[in-house]
Amino acid sequence: MKRPLAAALVAAATLLAACGDDDVTTSATTTTAAPDAPDRIVSMSPTSTEMLFAIGAGDQVVAVDDYSNYPEEAPITDLSAYEPNVEAITTYEPDLVVLSDGGGELAASLEQIGIEVLALPAATTLDDAYEQIAQLGDVTGHGEEADEVIADMRADLAELVAEVPERATPLTYFHELDNTLYSVTSETFIGEVYALAGLENVADPADADGQSGGYPQLSAEFLVEADPDLVFLADTKCCQQTSETFGARPGFEVLQAVTEGNVVLLDDDIASRWGPRVVDLLRAIVDAVKAVPVS
Amino acid sequence: MTQVATTVSPAPSLRAAGLRPGWLVAGFAAVAAAAVAGLVMGPVQLTPLEVVRQLLGLGSDLDARQIAIVEQIRLPRVVLGLLVGSTLSLCGASYQGVFRNPLADPYLLGAAAGAGLGVTIVIVGAAEGATTPALAPLAAFVGALGAVALTYALGTSGGGRASTASLILAGVAVASFLTAMQTYVQQRNQDTIRQVYSWILGRLSTAGWHEVRLLLPYAVVTWVVLLAHRRVLDVLAVGDDEAATLGVHARRSRLIVIIAASLGTAAAVSVSGLIAFVGIIVPHTVRLLAGQSHRVVLPLSILFGGAFLCLADLLARTLSSPAEIPIGVVTAFFGAPFFVLVLRSSRRMGATT
């Protein structure tokens, strides 16, 4: 029952795409990109949207998904990256769709109707992130700008790392993804950024075998016992967490991060994307680290 | 489904044996054992003796952080586990009695789905962060009662008395309808979607005294009303006409039990999230082991239901320590095989006698 329906959808989408073909060519004058570069890009990934605009390919982007809230000039739509709809995407007549997961069924259906797809799954290392920026540069004809963005990121990160004060024993930290204590380990992209600031992750024992994919849910009592020096809340938007709500949770008033005011509020978006704004994330982390006196 | 009803749950005789003291003692022992285990064990190793001394106010060697772990994290979690487990089992047992169907539980009649919709709407509207919104139990109750009323109305819409089969079918329809609405509300509000998800998966893991205080008044009312109806439920089990001759107002009693069970389910669900299986497994295990009469099943469901969920929560936080496992996974994973075991052994006993 599912297959005829899917076939019908694809057929309809193909028709739509075919109808639109005539007037696509008119926008060729606006971009500086290579003539064969895509100029009707739909980005279904907030990180890719940030990367595309950072490398100067923003003019070639016609639509972005409903989570792509940065930069401001990004043409945000109600396209859902969470429950993507092939037909809705095709109404923007894209010549390239950037996806944030492995692609899967969505990529297959888009490719079936002749739309090019670039799947850029969540980066697990900084090098992955640089690689994705370079890839987007190549595809959009902004290779040089992409290289510049990468060089700038490397330089900015190195500069911030140099600011981190020397310590005999490293500071420990807890990074909170939501108010049920989901966290990240050092094996994730975010964990790598914290490591740059010389921090040790208290969540690492919770996913020692990697079965949670680097995203374990901690026991409250374990966190109290671990008593991290720094707490970073990456759930200030999703779950309205503040240093007050964190400190008011059962048993948390004894945490030294709470008593000494070392609960740091992060922007959920910056702390969950692997684009150029990772520099802002490291800056927030390094500022917090510098605020803790070296004993 | 009606066939299952008649074969698995024969109407208990009015003269069925009452609650034997031995079982009552066993029930209290189970609660005590589960509570102590839940207090002295956990991801953080503490000396059991010191924990007990601290809780008894005898003074202990525990430092401030360890005291916070025992008194602020473990104790409320154990209390909440006991309360939620006992309330869900008691309500499940009452639903099964009042609908005379062994498969009846909060999930089947749409009550849980209605409660879920109510809580989702409150979370989406309030979005106040860490704690369960104070309105949640009330919204859950309205949702649950609305769902059961809808189920009842649909089940009787064919005219005349509601047959069990039509009630269950109506419940399935209402539950899927309300679940669809809940999903829709949740998806339309992306900013609170993670909070709704974490609530659905069960929030025992981050609960404290706030949740206990929220649940306690509703739980007390539910317990009192349902326990007071344990004899009436036995009479109703024989049949409405027989009940009338014995001076029981069948229709009114049914309604009271349904409302009370919906209130209890809703309050439990609103603080703990959707924890399946407890309302079916515990009452049936009690029935198979200790007897069919509601004078036995209701009190023992409270005791063993509380102990069961308390232990399930202990497993949830220790099995992959220091990471947590959702408690619903534990109740289903250990509850289902255990139930099959009880069912098989009791059938075998039944065959030989």
Angle at Cα A130 formed by Cα A125 and Cα A135, nearest 5°?
A: 125
Cβ-Cβ contacts under 8 Å, A66 against chain B: 190
What pLDDT does residue A16 have? 42
SS3 letters across B118-138: HHHHHHHHHCCCCCCCCCHHH
To the nearest whole angstrom, how far is the Cα of B118 from the nearest Cα of chain A? 19
Q: Smallest Cβ distance to A219: which of B128, B198, B324?
A: B324
| Residue B352: partners with Cβ closer than 8 Å, 6 or more residues away | none
Q: Tens digits of per-residue pLDDT, B267-308?
A: 888 888 878 778 888 998 899 889 889 999 999 999 999 999
Contact A224 B65 (CB under 8 A): yes
* pLDDT tens-digit map of A216-228: 989 999 999 999 9
Question: Which residues of chain B does A243 touch, with a Cβ-Cβ cutoff of 8 Å?
Answer: none
Residue-level length of chain A: 295
The answer to whether residues A169 and A106 belong to one domain is no
B-facing residues of A in 246-265 (CB < 8 A) are 246, 248-254
- Evaluate whether residue A11 is within a structural domain: no
**Shortest Cα distance, chain A CAs vs residue B45, angstroms:** 10
Residue A23 clears pLDDT 50, i.e. is over it: no
Residues A169 and A257 in one domain: yes
Q: What's the pLDDT at A256?
A: 95
Q: What is the 3-state secondary structure (H, E, C) of chain A?
A: CHHHHHHHHHHHHHHHHHHHHHHHHHHHHCCCCCCCCCCCEEECCHHHHHHHHHCCCHHHEEEECCCCCCCCCCCECCCCCCCCCHHHHHCCCCCEEEECCCCHHHHHHHHHCCCEEEECCCCCCHHHHHHHHHHHHHHHCCHHHHHHHHHHHHHHHHHHHHHCCCCCCCCEEEEECCCCCEECCCCCHHHHHHHHCCCEECCHHHHCCCCCCCCCEECHHHHHHHCCCEEEECCCCCCCCCHHHHHCCCCHHHCHHHHCCCEEECCCCHHHCCCCCHHHHHHHHHHHHHHCCCC
A220 and B127 within 8 Å at the Cβ level: the answer is no
Nearest-by-CA chain A residue for B202: A180
Q: What is the pLDDT of residues B103-127, one digit of tens each?
A: 777 777 788 889 889 988 888 877 5
Where residue A220 sits, what CATH number does that domain have? 3.40.50.1980
CA nearest B80: which of B90, B92, B88?
B88
A1: pLDDT strictly greater than 90? no
A222 and chain B in contact, CB less than 8 A: yes
Tokens representing residue B211 in the block: 């949740």
- Statement: residue B151 has pLDDT above 60: yes
Strand ranges (E), chain A:
41-43, 61-64, 96-99, 116-119, 172-176, 200-201, 230-233, 263-265
Residue B41 per-residue DSSP state: -
Most confident of A284-288, B248-252, B254-258: A284-288
* CB burial of residue A190 (10 Å; 0-12, 13-18, 19+): buried
Higher-pLDDT residue of A29 and A67 is A67
Q: Is A32 on the interface with B (CB under 8 A)?
A: no
Q: How far apart are CA A111 and CA A122, in angstroms?
A: 21
Q: How many distinct helices (H) and strands (E) make up chain B?
A: 16, 0
- pLDDT value at A21 more than 50: no
Closest CA to B226 of B312, B143, B299: B299
DSSP 8-state symbol, A219: P
Euclidean distance between CA atoms B30 and B277, whole angstroms: 19
**CB of A290 within 8 A of CB of A163?**
yes
Say what angle helices B164-188 and B193-200 make with each other, to 10 degrees.
150
Are A181 and B205 a contacting pair at CB < 8 A? yes
Contact B203 A246 (CB under 8 A): no
> In the predicted model, what is the mean pLDDT of residues B3-29?
65
Instruction: Confirm whether A206 is domain-assigned.
Output: yes
In the predicted model, is pLDDT for residue B15 greater than 50? Answer: no
Examine the domain organization and report whether A181 and A286 are in the same domain.
yes
Q: Which of A258-262, B42-46, B234-238, B348-352 comes out lowest in average pLDDT?
A: B348-352
Q: Answer positive or negative: Cα dihedral of A220, A272, A85, A116.
A: negative
Task: Tell me the pLDDT band of B9, cut-offs 50, 70 and 90.
Answer: very low
| A180, A247: one domain | yes
For Cα atoms A108, A40, A102, give the angle at the middle one, nearest 5 degrees.
Answer: 30
Q: Residue B326 and residue B329: Cα distance in Å, rounded?
A: 6
Give residue A102's pLDDT: 63
User: In this prediction, what percent of chain B has a pLDDT beyond 90?
Assistant: 34
- Please tell me the predicted confidence (pLDDT) of residue B6: 40
Q: Across chain A, what does the average pLDDT equal?
A: 87
Q: Which residues of B touch A212 (CB under 8 A)?
A: 323
A–B interface: beta-carbon pairs under 8 A:
111
A127 domain-assigned: yes
Disruptive mutation site among A65, A178, A187, A225 for chain B (greatest number of B CBs within 10 Å): A225
- The three-point CA angle B70-B71-B75 to 5° equals 80
- Given a cut of 90, whether residue A229 has pLDDT beyond it is yes
Any domain includes A211:
yes
**pLDDT of the residue at B186:** 86
Distance CA(B118)–CA(B147), nearest Å, equals 10
Distance from CA of A271 to the nearest CA of B (A): 16
Mean pLDDT of the B258-274 span:
87
Nearest to A224 among B73, B203, B324 (CB): B73
Chain A partners of B317 at a C-beta cutoff of 8 Å? 219, 221
Indicate the residue among A159, A186, A207 that finishes a domain.
A159
Q: Is residue A7 part of a domain?
A: no
The one-character DSSP state at B162 is: P
Q: Which amino acid is at B112?
A: A
Q: Chain B contacts of A221, Cβ < 8 Å?
A: 42-44, 69, 73-74, 317
Q: What is the pLDDT of residue B329?
A: 83
User: Which tokens sit at B272?
Assistant: 């703990």
Arithmetic mean of pLDDT over chain B: 83
Per-residue pLDDT at A18 exceeds 70: no
Query: Which chain B residue has the Cα nearest residue A239?
Result: B129
Residue A218 lies in a domain: yes
**What is the rounded average pLDDT of the residues B220-229?**
96
Cα–Cα distance measured from residue B285 to residue B338, given in angstroms and rounded to the nearest whole number: 9
**Minimum mean pLDDT range among A56-70, A96-110, A145-159, B35-49:** A96-110
Residues A132, A169 within the same domain: no
Same domain, A136 and A206: no
Comparing B99 with A134, the larger pLDDT belongs to A134
Say what the pLDDT of residue A260 is. Answer: 95
- Give A122 to chain B, closest Cα distance, Å: 19
Integer angstrom CA distances of residue B87 from A48, B224, B231: 49, 11, 19
Is residue A12, in this structure, part of any structural domain at all?
A: no
A150 and A28 share one domain:
yes
What pLDDT shows up at residue B4?
40
Q: How far apart are CA B320 and CA B271, in angstroms?
A: 24
| pLDDT over threshold 80, residue B200 | no
Nearest-CA neighbor of B222 among B271, B259, B190? B259
Q: End of a domain among A134, A159, A184?
A: A159
- Cβ A44 vs Cβ A65: under 8 Å: yes
Percent of chain B scoring above 70 in pLDDT: 88
**Do A120 and A191 reside in the same domain of the chain?**
no
| Rounded CA separation A167/A156 (Å) | 22
Mutate: best of A65, A182, A215, A222, partner B, most B CBs <10 A: A222
Q: Mark yes or no for CB contact B129/A83 under 8 Å.
A: no
Chain B closest-CA separation from residue A54 CA (Å): 26
Q: Rounded CA gap, B351 and B345, in Å? A: 10
pLDDT grade, residue A179 (50/70/90)?
confident
Does residue B78 or residue B132 have the better pLDDT? B78
Q: A204 and A224, same structural domain? A: yes
Report the C-alpha gap between A165 and A167 in whole angstroms. 6
The predicted structure's pLDDT at residue A280: 97
Same domain as A139, residue A90: yes
The residue among A130, A159, A188 that closes a domain is A159
Q: Is the pLDDT of residue B168 over 60?
A: yes
State which residues form the domain around A65: 20-159
Q: Is A213 on the interface with B (CB under 8 A)?
A: no
Q: What is the pLDDT of residue B229?
A: 94
Query: Is residue A295 one of the residues assigned to a domain?
Result: no
**pLDDT in the model for residue A19:** 42
To the nearest whole Å, the CA of A239 is away from the closest chain B CA by: 5
Tokens coding B316: 């949830």
Residues of B in contact with A83 (CB under 8 A): 187
Q: Which residues of B touch A241 (CB under 8 A)?
A: 129-130
Closest CB from A83, A219, A237 relative to B43: A219
Q: Which residues of A touch B43 (CB under 8 A)?
A: 219, 221-222, 225
Given A178, A218, A253, which is nearest B194 (Cβ)?
A178
Total domains present in chain A: 2
Domain shared by A129 and A216, yes or no: no
Residue B117's region, left for phi above 0, alpha for psi from -120 to 50, else beta, is alpha
d(CA A130, CA B143): 50
DSSP code of B345?
A: H
Q: Is the pLDDT of residue A12 over 50?
A: no
Task: Identify the pLDDT of residue B160.
Answer: 56
Half-sphere exposure at residue A177, Cβ-oriented, CA atoms within 13 angstroms: 17
Q: List alpha helices for B273-326, DSSP H.
A: 278-290, 294-318
**Is residue A25 domain-shared with residue A155, that is, in the same domain?**
yes
B94 close to B233: Cβ distance less than 8 angstroms: yes
State how far the alpha carbon of A238 is from the alpha carbons of A144, A179, B277, in Å. Answer: 36, 9, 31
